[in-house]
Structure 1
Amino acid sequence: MSAGTVLWVTLAVFAQESVWNFYDAQVPTELRHYITSAGLVGLIMGMDNVLGVLIQPWMGFLSDRRARAGKGRWAIILTGAAMASVPFALIPWTHNLPTLMVCVVAFAATANAFKGITETLVSDYVDPGHRGRAQGFVKAGVSLTIVVSSLISLLVVDRSVTLAFAISPVLMLLILTVSWTFLGRRPTSAALPRPDDSDRDPATDTDFTSPWAVVRDLVREPSGARALLMLGIFCFAGMWSAVRALLTPYGTEALGLSRGAAGGLALPGAIAFLVCVVPLAYASSRLGQVRAMRYGVGLFVIGLLIGFAVPTTPGTVAAMVVTSVGYAAFAVNALVALWGLAPSRHVLGTYTGLYTVASSTGAALGPALLGLTVDATGWRFMLLNGAVFAAITFAVFTRLARRTTSAPA
């Protein structure tokens, strides 16, 4: 495993995730200038995930075609990043709900066009035997985006919201350009013939003429492991997205914090994620990916219960630390496990898109569902409501663990 290659891939993923994390932290507050219902705010925050479901599988399939032809995925990534930066930076300049919604939808559509493709770079530049560990470093980079987002919230938002919304897209464009400079000319796994390729049936490559053909193959897979893993991804992504999207309003409404301070509640959890994610990636190769994800969901439930039992700023911070560690166990394993079940290395971009279908569908419904329970019970019970939904996720992974044997990475 080349340390330099992993570094540049990690930075590329870091670049696009840095914008999304700041979006999740601060756009809900922008919406609350015009909307009072937490459920409606959560529904709008989940809308970008609906667009991801519609856009990412097709863009992943298109990038697979380009990668197999030797053209690479970078043209899509760089073009999408440039287009997404404009509406994102304009969000705080809007002065009414229709204009704000135009910027939000424009950003979500263009950013989703290259989001999954950026994540697929791991499979392009890292051999299958090292992807699990490489993904640990990538997720460590993702956790740093939460740190960066929290620091921007703490240090910049209360002074200048317009400047805060400009920092993230500029950072994204600069880092993606640097990563492309170092990786763009290197050959990728999809473009090279490999006599030792582990594809189960290389001839099936010609059968995948569209993303729907890949979906049919996934559904008809005899063991059902892929479909059950997709369901687990759907459930966990929904609750993680719900807690992240509503955490800043929870801090202002339930804990009485300022907007900037509430936006920084995720910072300690991000640090905990950063500290543990790489060790968890290595441990998962011995423990088994499905088992590691199941334990992570259980820890996530415990963290939410801690936050509900201790409704103070320190208690919420402790809850975010525990839930972030639980999420780390899931995050480093889910996509790599799905790649491992793919029928061909030439459809990994499409499988990344399918991962997005599961996670984005869950993330689209999660904030709205949790927000509706907040409307019914009040902000005080938000974390308890989340724990109940997360317990359902734990049941899904328990069933998956009983039906599959997770081989070491």
Structure 2
Amino acid sequence: MRKTWLLGFGFFSISIGWSLYNGFVPFFLNDYLESTALIGFLMTIDNYFALFIQPYVGSLSDRTQTRFGRRMPYLLIGIPLAALFIALIPFHHNLFTLILFMVGMNLSMAIFRSPTIALMPDITPEHQRTKANGIINFMGGLGAILAFSVGAFLFNLHESLPFLLVGMVLIVTLWVLLKNIKENRDSLPVTMTIASKIDYKGELNAPTIFLLAAIFFWFMAIQGMEALFTLYGVKELGLSRSDSAFSLAFFSLSFVLSSIPSGFFGAKYGEKQVILIGVIGLFFVFLFLNWVDSVFILRFFLVAGGMFWACININAYPYVVSTGSEHRNGTRTGLYYLVSSLSAIVSPPVLGLLIDHFGFRMLFFAAAVSMLFALACILKVKNHEAVSDSVH
């Protein structure tokens, strides 16, 4: 498990980057734009690139052979570029340069995201993957907490400080991974089979299709909520920008504290069962948030939401990997992020359009409806044992 904790630094860097992006970039856009729908669209324009790059890079990494391994070359390229662009974001001069730096950052993140995540099943036996995913998501959650709490404090001092800090964190993360993870030494023998070609169709069995559909709908809820929550806090509840971002830290803190237990529960009771608990629980959290006006009660429900989100998110990726063949970890990781990127494209602008017409209360109502669709899809997925036996 030592390697898993070290690999968690990779997920830490991804999470802190995305959290900072979602929490503070809408404020920069709001300086130039009044339409929430347009802000939502611009918050996701980068995902149009990620939609194609992440699945391709994930599959390409399955077929890559270098002295650094299969995944590390993409980290060596993507992480320094991401560090550069995220540090440049607060130094934009107009809307054009802001969008340019946003797209540059997210294109860079797309280069190394799938290979970084694919390292986990590469070096971890299947029966330990939910536990390992709990650990790396624990690290990712710490990144989100730092982005929303320390980031909010630094943002108040100067808008550039949290972005510069994250740029430095990305560089340190790359050094930690290069020093401690040696793919050719640490990867499991079964994962060293190099795929001859990219084969998405061969990976899309029925359980995978339903599972990917469920992932799409629950990310619709989460991506939209995270991208627009800080504006919701300011315009609906009257919070300051920093207090609104700090409120989202309660969701992240709860997620962090629940990550490792959720992984252990998934290993003991099965990924699907724990995911179902999370989907149902998060539906009720989003539903009740429609009537919340108190900041204290809001943060209470965000804590509950983080617990249920951990039940879902910690077990989803190992569940996706388990429905396919061992030598396609990169391909299936790419499919996972293709679906999450697609939901990130659709959710914020659609929710923003609903908010423009019906008010910010539509944010949590739409998220609750999306969780219902996720529930219908996950119920169609075969149990873990049946899926695994049918494909290995």
Q: TM-score range by the shorter chain?
A: over 0.9
SS of structure 2 residue aligned to 1:399: coil
Give the distance between the partners of 1:371 and 1:281, measured in 2 at CA: 33
Give the distance between the partners of 1:263 and 1:7, measured in 2 at CA: 27
> Does 2:73 align with 1:75?
yes
Identify which of 346, 353, 363 aligns with 1:372. Answer: 353
Give the distance between the partners of 1:364 and 1:48, measured in 2 at CA: 8
Give the distance between the partners of 1:46 and 1:315, measured in 2 at CA: 30
> Does 2:236 align with 1:258?
no
Q: 1:48 to 1:276 in 2, by over 3 A?
A: same
- Paired residues of 1:239 and 1:367 also in contact (CA < 8 A): no
1:311-322 paired onto structure 2 within 5 Å: 311-322=293-304
User: Which residue of structure 1 lines up, in the alignment, with residue 255 of structure 2?
Assistant: 273
Give the distance between the partners of 2:66 and 2:269, measured in 1 at CA: 34
Identify which of 169, 185, 188 aligns with 1:187. Answer: 185
Q: Which amino acid aligns with 2:336?
A: Y
Cα offsets for 1:29-62 (capped at 9, x unmatched): 1111111111111112122322221101111122
Cα offsets for 1:359-382 (capped at 9, x unmatched): 111122111121111111111342
Shift of 1:66: 2.0
User: Which residue of structure 2 lines up, in the alignment, with residue 209 of structure 1?
Assistant: 197
- Paired residues of 1:47 and 1:364 also in contact (CA < 8 A): yes
User: Which residue of structure 1 lines up, in the alignment, with residue 338 of structure 2?
Assistant: 357
Identify which of 386, 390, 395 aligns with 2:376. Answer: 395
> Does 2:227 align with 1:245?
yes
Q: 1:311 to 1:391 in 2, by over 3 A?
A: farther
Greater than 6 Å deviation, 4+ residue runs: none
1:49-68 paired onto structure 2 within 5 Å: 49-66=47-64
- Paired residues of 1:303 and 1:318 also in contact (CA < 8 A): no
Which is further off, 231-240 or 310-319? 310-319
Cα offsets for 1:141-164 (capped at 9, x unmatched): 111111111123331111100112
Cα offsets for 1:71-92 (capped at 9, x unmatched): 3321210221101122211111
Give the distance between the partners of 1:293 and 1:96, measured in 2 at CA: 43
Give the distance between the partners of 1:85 and 1:286, measured in 2 at CA: 38
Identify which of 149, 152, 174 aligns with 2:150. Answer: 152
Shift of 1:265: 1.1
Show structure 2 runs of 5+ residues with no match: none
Q: 1:76 to 1:70 in 2, by over 3 A?
A: closer
Cα offsets for 1:259-295 (capped at 9, x unmatched): 1111111112222112222111111223221222122
Cα offsets for 1:157-214 (capped at 9, x unmatched): 1110011211111111112211220113652436x4x5xx8x9xx8xx76x512xx2x
Give the distance between the partners of 2:324 and 2:263, measured in 1 at CA: 20
Shift of 1:137: 0.6
Which is further off, 383-392 or 86-95? 383-392
- Paired residues of 1:60 and 1:350 also in contact (CA < 8 A): yes
Q: Which amino acid aligns with 1:295?
A: I
Which is further off, 83-92 or 70-79? 70-79
User: Which residue of structure 2 lines up, in the alignment, with residue 115 of structure 1?
Assistant: 113
Shift of 1:120: 1.0
Give the distance between the partners of 2:385 and 2:269, measured in 1 at CA: 9
SS of structure 2 residue aligned to 1:265: helix
- Paired residues of 1:15 and 1:176 also in contact (CA < 8 A): no
User: Which residue of structure 2 lines up, in the alignment, with residue 128 of structure 1?
Assistant: 126
Give the distance between the partners of 2:26 and 2:224, measured in 1 at CA: 12
1:209-228 paired onto structure 2 within 5 Å: 209-210=197-198, 213=199, 215-219=200-204, 221=205, 224-228=206-210
- Paired residues of 1:48 and 1:105 also in contact (CA < 8 A): yes
Identify which of 165, 169, 172 aligns with 1:174. Answer: 172
Q: Which amino acid aligns with 1:209?
A: K
Identify which of 158, 161, 164 aligns with 1:163. Answer: 161
- Paired residues of 1:25 and 1:244 also in contact (CA < 8 A): yes
Give the distance between the partners of 1:320 and 1:78, measured in 2 at CA: 36
Cα offsets for 1:314-338 (capped at 9, x unmatched): 1221221122111111111111111
Shift of 1:26: 0.7
Cα offsets for 1:14-34 (capped at 9, x unmatched): 122211111111111111111
User: Which residue of structure 2 lines up, in the alignment, with residue 384 of structure 1?
Assistant: 365
Shift of 1:99: 1.1
User: Which residue of structure 2 lines up, in the alignment, with residue 305 of structure 1?
Assistant: 287
Give the distance between the partners of 1:67 and 1:127, measured in 2 at CA: 22
Give the distance between the partners of 2:318 and 2:49, measured in 1 at CA: 23
User: Which residue of structure 1 lines up, in the alignment, with residue 27 of structure 2?
Assistant: 29
Q: 1:67 to 1:15 in 2, by over 3 A?
A: farther
Shift of 1:346: 2.1
Give the distance between the partners of 2:327 and 2:266, measured in 1 at CA: 26
RMSD: 2.1
Give the distance between the partners of 1:286 and 1:365, measured in 2 at CA: 35
Shift of 1:241: 0.7
Shift of 1:399: 3.0
Q: Which amino acid aligns with 1:311?
A: D
Question: Between Structure 1 and Structure 2, how many residues are aligned?
Answer: 387
Q: Which amino acid aligns with 2:10?
A: A
Q: 1:241 to 1:381 in 2, by over 3 A?
A: same
Show structure 1 runs of 5+ residues with no match: none
Q: Which amino acid aligns with 2:295?
A: T
> Does 2:214 align with 1:235?
no
Identify which of 96, 119, 127 aligns with 1:98. Answer: 96
Q: Which amino acid aligns with 2:26?
A: P
